Amino acid sequence: MEQRPTGFDDGDVRSALARHHGIDARELRYRAVGFGDYHWEATGANGRRWFVKVSDLADKPQCGPTPEAALAGYRAAMRTTAELRAGGLEFVAAPEPARNGEFVADLGGRWALVLFPHVDTEPATAGRDFYTELSRADRDALLALLARLHTTPAPADTPVHTPDVPDRAVIEDALAGQETSWTGGPFSEPARQAVVTHTSAIRDRLADADALLHQLRLAGRPVVVTHGEPHPGNLLDTDRGLLLIDWDTVGLGVPERDLAVVPGDLSAWTEATGVEPDPHALELYRLRWALADLGEFLRWFRNPHADDADSRTAWEGLLQTLDDLAGGP
């Protein structure tokens, strides 16, 4: 996030690192990276460097709908991640355990902290995001990693992914409330007007998702361990190869959940697994991604927000998402 969190500062990060990890953070620098969580780089008294991730549990729906449920879901995801790494998947960016053995430190019920070792990255990583076009070599390398993940036995704590459209109730509520002015912040009313313009497209895409979801359930595809968001922005180039980060969304699901965000030829995955991706499942998850973004942006703009860098990023994301949905399934 570009903006620092309200109600949580550098002093709170230092205190949490000392209490939960025994780290005396002599240097601390906020990193405006990612969207949804907050990040710092820390250097301990012994010179070791760390990457710190702080999450607002009241706004982590991929892990749970309430702070309590999100903490439990987040902990299960990080335990799964650590087990995958320990089991031989060296491309998994796993967290460090706290003193109590948990990988997610509970900071009073609202905030949570996860600690990662610092990773030196190659220049190719700089500026990479969701929309970055991967070279064929990088795409095939990513597909090879996913093939290994998808053929790895699931750790006991692996969360179960639900393929339904996330935040469906948020989207339906926005459609139902489009005739009344929205309040919350400077982008609320423009967001309502954008929804009014795209109402038919949104309803059509929800119907498309329902039909594709029905097909997926009838097909009875086997589930595997999936990352959930293996897009270019979650890939780091290191001197030891690609590293896949941000495993908050790890879960048991069909492999197309991951393959849908890898553009282009998927034959490297088929060659490694002996399985052909299901085109309907790919279509579902590509559509589901856009609808999930829509729900996230609508939650943002129907709640209190400011005119800041993060809100402007969300506004641009909302407009792009609505254009994508209007383009058809």
Q: Where are the domains of the chain?
A: 1-118, 121-329
Phi-psi region of 47 (alpha: psi -120 to 50; beta: other; left: phi over 0): left
User: Hey, is 302 helix, strand or coil?
Assistant: coil
Distance CA(240)–CA(156), nearest Å, equals: 28
Distance CA(302)–CA(183), nearest Å, equals: 7
Distance CA(325)–CA(165), nearest Å, equals: 14
- pLDDT, position 193: 97
Distance CA(257)–CA(228), nearest Å, equals: 6
Q: What is the pLDDT of residues 289-311, one digit of tens each?
A: 999 999 999 999 999 999 999 99
Q: Between the CA of residue 58 and those of 98, 178, 278, what are the distances in Å?
A: 22, 25, 35
Q: What is the pLDDT of residues 244-293, one digit of tens each?
A: 999 999 999 999 999 999 989 999 999 999 999 999 999 999 999 999 99
- pLDDT, position 126: 67
Q: Which CATH architecture has domain 1-118?
A: 2-Layer Sandwich (3.30)
Query: Model pTM?
Result: 0.94
Distance CA(133)–CA(234), nearest Å, equals: 13
What the block records as the tokens of 304 is 């209190």
Could you count the other beta carbons within 10 Å of the beta carbon of residue 162?
10
Q: What is the pLDDT of residues 73-91, one digit of tens each?
A: 999 999 999 999 999 999 9
- pLDDT, position 131: 79
Concatenating the DSSP letter of every residue in 65-76 gives SSHHHHHHHHHH
- pLDDT, position 127: 67
4 secondary structure, DSSP code: P
Q: What is the pLDDT of residues 187-232, one digit of tens each?
A: 999 999 999 999 999 999 999 999 999 999 999 999 999 999 999 9
**Is the Cβ–Cβ distance between 3 and 309 less than 8 Å?**
yes
Distance CA(94)–CA(88), nearest Å, equals: 12
Distance CA(96)–CA(117), nearest Å, equals: 7
- Amino acid at position 82, single letter: A
Smallest CA-to-CA distance from 77 within 93, 59, 63, 92 is with 63
225 secondary structure, DSSP code: E
Q: What is the pLDDT of residues 21-77, one digit of tens each?
A: 999 999 999 998 878 899 999 999 999 999 999 999 998 999 999 999 999 999 999
Of all residues in the chain, what percent carry a pLDDT higher than 70?
99
- Amino acid at position 229, single letter: E
* H-only helix segments in the chain: 10-21, 67-86, 136-150, 168-176, 188-197, 199-219, 256-259, 267-273, 279-301, 309-326
- The class of domain 121-329 in CATH terms is alpha beta
- pLDDT, position 263: 86
